[in-house]
Amino acid sequence: MRRGDIQRTRVKICGLTRVSDIAAVVAAGADAVGFVFHPASPRAVTPEQAAQLCRALPPFVTAVGLFVDARPEAIAATLEQVPLDLLQFHGDESPGFCSAFGRRWIKAIRMRPEINLAAERERFSGADGLLLDAYEPGRAGGTGQCFDWARIPPDLASEILLAGGLTPANVAEAIEQVRPYGVDVSGGVETAKGIKDPDLIFAFMQGVRDGDRRRNQPG
Ligand SMILES: O=C(O)c1ccccc1N[C@@H]1O[C@H](COP(=O)(O)O)[C@@H](O)[C@H]1O
């Protein structure tokens, strides 16, 4: 999975629920959009809603479906209706489970204190990437909390998707410090739970570009 020297941090904006969100994310230049198929989330969409949102997506923007310990039949039924490019597993799914759907997939690792990232990387070696998110007991994700970025070993950074509490105000610093393959944001570009804001999305992308300038500075 090693990805060499990353020049441009990829960006996923997660938890889109409206066609106007898609327009804002595409105009701002993000690489991927996320649809949350976890009924307990305030950003949850049905397969029918996600299919409609996908119809508004132009080429070269990746559609990611987020699942949390969903039943395999539910995931398969979603895939029948929604043209997802990539699956994001955000629960306690096993590697065998994640690879059973014939799609590319990433695995979210919630950064519990005892997590050994090198061991997780080995365990999920079939994944197309590992996404690191903050751990909060009793919550599956989308918590708006950061974890200590210093816990990411530098030799794993180029394959990491960094998530958890990123905002327009901290994303440049996060990119400069961690040097990840990509970043993922949900709550940091919302004015209320599940309500994305075009100005915050734009500001987040500006922050990413600032972070890229800083990561690419010589010396
Ligand atoms: O967005 C959600 O509601 C969600 C629900 C359940 C699991 C994951 C969820 N979102 C993912 O959580 C991280 C961090 O989000 P935030 O930026 O801290 O709000 C991100 O990967 C989202 O895709």
Tens-digit pLDDT profile for residues 23-59:
999 999 999 999 999 999 999 999 999 999 999 999 9
Q: What is the pLDDT of residues 167-194, one digit of tens each?
A: 999 999 999 999 999 999 999 999 998 9
**What are 96's two structure tokens?**
């065998």
> Is residue 212 flagged as an active site residue?
no
pLDDT beyond 90 at 161: yes
Q: How many Å apart are CA 11 and CA 57, to the nearest integer?
A: 15
Query: Domain map of the chain by residue range?
Result: 10-211
CA 58 to ligand 1 centroid distance, Å: 23
Which residues neighbour 129 within 8 Å (Cβ) at sequence distance 6 or greater? 1, 106, 107, 159, 160, 161, 181, 182
Helix, strand, or coil (residue 157): helix
Asked if residues 103 and 86 have their Cβ atoms less than 8 Å apart, the reply is yes
Question: What does residue 205 show for φ and ψ, rounded to 5 degrees?
Answer: -65, -35
Q: Is the dihedral of CA 149, 39, 18, 194 positive or negative?
A: negative
Record the pTM: 0.96
Task: Fill in the amino acid letter for 51.
Answer: A
Asked if residues 93 and 69 have their Cβ atoms less than 8 Å apart, the reply is yes
> Is residue 14 flagged as an active site residue?
yes
Which is the catalytic residue, given 54, 133, 146, 184? 133
Q: How many Å apart are CA 45 and CA 48, to the nearest integer?
A: 8
Asked if residues 6 and 158 have their Cβ atoms less than 8 Å apart, the reply is yes
Residues within a 6 A CB radius of ligand 1: 14-15, 34, 36, 38, 41, 43, 66, 68, 90, 131, 133, 140-144, 163-166, 184-188
In the chain, the DSSP E strands lie at 10-14, 32-36, 62-67, 86-89, 104-110, 130-133, 160-162, 182-185, 190-192, 195-196
CATH architecture of the domain with residue range 10-211: Alpha-Beta Barrel (3.20)
CA 141 to ligand 1 centroid distance, Å: 4
Of 107, 110, 186, the residue with max ligand 1 atoms within 8 A of its CB, to mutate for a pocket test, comes to 186
> Which residue's CA is the nearest one to ligand 1's atom 2?
142
